[in-house]
């Protein structure tokens, strides 16, 4: 490949940094300039806070395999394997994402900002074209970092039936994240509960697809109004696992998947413009989501017209080998995931590593797949301003010093959410509000069953808006 140099000391601005050009043109210019190694590097990530190390067994395993790794925690060996290289080594040709700089250790805002600048500088030092890494963090109940406001869990949002409140909360979360240089938040959870034994129910907004879709879209609007990319997860079927076991198979046909599970994701894209999706760990009817081109390409891209990025759930790519047994190793698992439609591997690079370069050059993997994924991520980096001439690591955290992650306004929002989510069930004829010596209140709220509850098979477009038929205010009655 022939490359063209644009030395900064000669005052020449490369076309991918020219803000007068369209985003699409800037991406085209950049992809043309990049080597195959540099494009592959954009598909990976590095979690500097992941310092787990695999411990090798000294005794033969029960299966007769010497040198096996004994897991104390489920899939511990996969977690540890990705934490064995330095950031410098991981970003030899550049890097796609930096993982949880603020959320890995209890750091102050100033400490986190300084570490983020340091990591950016490492990545840029190894990037021939000066392409920064995108920074992501968790943010379901607030910016998941030391000292930040913790908002009520998502199941409480569902109890409020208040899309405006959810949007205001998400906007506050997004403003805090953007102020300290974060570009993407790994929320909201749009899983629809199918079995309340599942251990992650509190992360969801409940069992009603319409309610989850409405509040999920509100969260996306709020977070992205602050310039932070929202990530819809877990796409799809994660909450419907067999016997409610985490990571268990999902015994579901396509009709139920299309009627109940997928509408929440489609709504958040159509009504709120969500810019990223995270795949589910589970397999649906025997096909793991992370290796399913029907789900990640045909439905998501071809039918819904989604143009953002698909990021893997943490270690979902190597799990295709170690958990689903679809591939002999992480490298082959990476090829399956890339073909299916995953663009960026999180939180570290195992399946999307430089082995892809050799596979492409041997003709075993089409370079068009690498280009497809790299184009989607580079587009987002340009849209976020990371390739504008004035962007610097220091400027990206310039607002951090003046940012209070647990401000009075944040706390007021958290309190409002908590109060609005409180639901008083029917306490019978003698609720505790009434007892000797206390005057009776003029009205005792009582939740009753809504008579307009739609059938599970009622089309999404025909269901009543939750602020009218499902509002708690309309469910309150006088005892």
Tokens representing 86 are 């330095």
User: b/e map of 374-384 (b: 16 or more CB within 10 Å)?
Assistant: bbbbbbbbbbb
3-state secondary structure of 229: strand
How far apart, in whole angstroms, are the C-alpha atoms of residue 251 and residue 381? 38
Helices (H), 345-397: 355-361, 367-383, 393-396
Per the CB < 8 A criterion, the answer to whether 409 and 175 are in contact is no
How far apart, in whole angstroms, are the C-alpha atoms of residue 368 and residue 152? 44
Given 162, 191, 292, 313, the catalytic residue? 313
Per the CB < 8 A criterion, the answer to whether 472 and 161 are in contact is yes
Helix axes 209-225, 263-272, angle to 10 degrees: 40
Per the CB < 8 A criterion, the answer to whether 230 and 274 are in contact is yes
Concatenating the DSSP letter of every residue in 16-56 gives: GG-TTS-HHHHHHHHHHHS-HHHHHHTT-EE-TT----PPB
**Bridging pattern class, strands 283-284 and 287-288:** antiparallel
Provide the 8-state DSSP code for 149.
P
Active site residue 208: no
Burial class (CB in 10 A: 0-12, 13-18, 19+), 240: buried
Per the CB < 8 A criterion, the answer to whether 377 and 34 are in contact is no
Q: Mark residue 67 as left, alpha or beta (left: phi above 0; alpha: psi -120 to 50; beta: remaining).
A: left
3-state secondary structure of 101: coil
Residues tagged active-site: 313
């Amino acid at each position: 490949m022939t490359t063209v140099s644009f030395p900064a000391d000669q005052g020449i601005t490369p076309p991918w940094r020219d803000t007068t050009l369209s985003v699409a043109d800037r991406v085209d210019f950049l992809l043309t300039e990049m080597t195959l190694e540099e494009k592959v590097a954009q598909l990976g990530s590095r979690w500097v806070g992941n310092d787990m190390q695999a411990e090798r067994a000294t005794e033969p395993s029960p299966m007769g395999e010497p040198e096996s790794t004994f897991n104390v925690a489920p899939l511990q060996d996969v977690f540890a394997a990705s934490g064995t290289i330095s950031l410098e080594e991981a970003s030899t040709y550049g890097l796609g994402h930096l993982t949880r700089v603020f959320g890995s250790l209890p750091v102050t805002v100033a400490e986190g900002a300084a570490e983020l600048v340091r990591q950016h500088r490492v990545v840029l030092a190894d990037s021939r074209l000066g392409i920064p890494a995108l920074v992501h963090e968790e943010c379901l109940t607030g910016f998941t970092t030391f000292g930040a406001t913790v908002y009520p869990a998502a199941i409480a949002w569902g109890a409020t039936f208040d899309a405006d409140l959810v949007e205001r909360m998400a906007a506050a979360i997004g403003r805090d994240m953007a102020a300290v240089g974060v570009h993407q938040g790994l929320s909201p959870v749009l899983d629809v509960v199918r079995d309340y034994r599942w251990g992650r129910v509190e992360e969801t907004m409940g069992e009603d697809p319409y309610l989850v879709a409405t509040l999920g879209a509100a969260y996306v609007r709020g977070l992205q109004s602050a310039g932070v990319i929202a990530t819809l997860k877990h796409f799809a079927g994660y909450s419907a696992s067999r016997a409610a076991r985490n990571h268990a198979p999902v015994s579901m046909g396509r009709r139920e998947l299309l009627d109940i599970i997928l509408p929440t994701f489609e709504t958040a894209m159509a009504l709120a413009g969500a810019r990223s999706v995270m795949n589910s760990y589970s397999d649906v009817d025997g096909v793991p989501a992370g290796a399913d081109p029907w789900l990640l390409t045909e439905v998501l891209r071809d039918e819904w017209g989604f143009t953002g990025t698909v990021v893997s759930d943490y270690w979902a790519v190597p799990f295709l080998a170690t958990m689903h047994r679809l591939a002999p190793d992480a490298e082959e698992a990476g090829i399956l995931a890339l073909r299916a439609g995953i663009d960026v591997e999180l939180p570290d690079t195992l399946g999307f590593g430089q082995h892809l370069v050799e596979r492409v050059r041997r003709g075993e993997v089409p370079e068009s797949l690498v280009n497809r994924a790299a184009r989607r991520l580079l587009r987002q980096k340009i849209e976020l301003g990371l390739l504008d001439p004035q962007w610097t690591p220091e400027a990206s955290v310039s607002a951090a010093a003046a940012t209070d992650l647990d401000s009075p306004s944040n706390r007021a929002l958290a309190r409002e959410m908590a109060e609005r989510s409180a639901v008083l069930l029917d306490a019978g004829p003698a609720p505790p509000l009434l007892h000797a010596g206390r005057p009776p209140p003029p009205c005792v709220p009582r939740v009753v069953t809504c008579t307009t509850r739609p059938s599970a098979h009622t089309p999404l477009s025909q269901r009543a808006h939750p602020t009218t038929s499902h509002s708690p205010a309309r469910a309150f009655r006088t005892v």
